[in-house]
Amino acid sequence: NLLKAHGIAENTLVFFCSDNGAANRYEGLFDSSGPLRGRKRDMYEGGIRTPMIAWMPGSVPANKVSDYPWYFPDVLPTLAAVAGAEAPKDLDGMDISPVLFGENMPVSDRFLYWEFHEKGFDQAVRWKNWKAVRHGLDGKLELYNLTDDPTETNDVSRKNKKIIKTIETYLAEARSPSIYWPAGKAAPRD
């Protein structure tokens, strides 16, 4: 209402979102992650998949839902595009503003990558409808088909060796060693 009162609502893009899933699941009380596996600090969908609301009257269609997969590295190039600026080169993210403005945009063939360092080291990769999770740098990749199994209950890695190989190849170059973010052994799972 304040943006409208100042006459700047049509020139202001508002995002309301979270960078991770629920801190606790509160089973039976709030069901914070719904049917999704995991919570904050997990690489499963309950830990990283979150809703995001975008609002910009006259530009972002009201009451429209999109399931286009994107993540926080996409925020900078998207905001740059909306502002008419050029994003820095060599970013992991991409401009998804056409999706925000209600246009159809083909789903990218790119990899989405996450890692988490608290209590050990975990990685997750999303590629197309596939999601891989690894605990520790040397851990075995778990693989889930998010179209058929959004709750990540059926590890299909043994049946999809080609997909695993593609993701392993990507992971071999996805991460650069860092003294600030050292990769350690996987933490014991709950």
Length of the chain: 190
Q: Provide CATH code, domain 109-190.
A: 3.30.1120.10
- pTM for the structure as a whole: 0.86
Q: Which of 49, 50, 57, 42 is nearest to 12 (CA)?
A: 57
Would you state the pLDDT for residue 25?
78
Q: Give Cα 148 to chain centroid, integer Å.
A: 18
What per-residue confidence (pLDDT) applies to 20? Answer: 84
Residues contacting residue 106 through CB under 8 Å, at least 6 positions apart? none
Do 77 and 91 meet the contact criterion of CB atoms below 8 Å apart?
A: yes
Residue at 177: amino acid letter: P
User: If you average pLDDT over residues 17-42, what whole number do you get?
Assistant: 83
- Give residue 3's pLDDT: 96
Domain ranges of the chain: 1-65, 72-107, 109-190
- State pLDDT tens for residues 129-187: 999 999 988 899 999 999 999 999 999 999 999 999 999 999 999 888 888 877 765 55
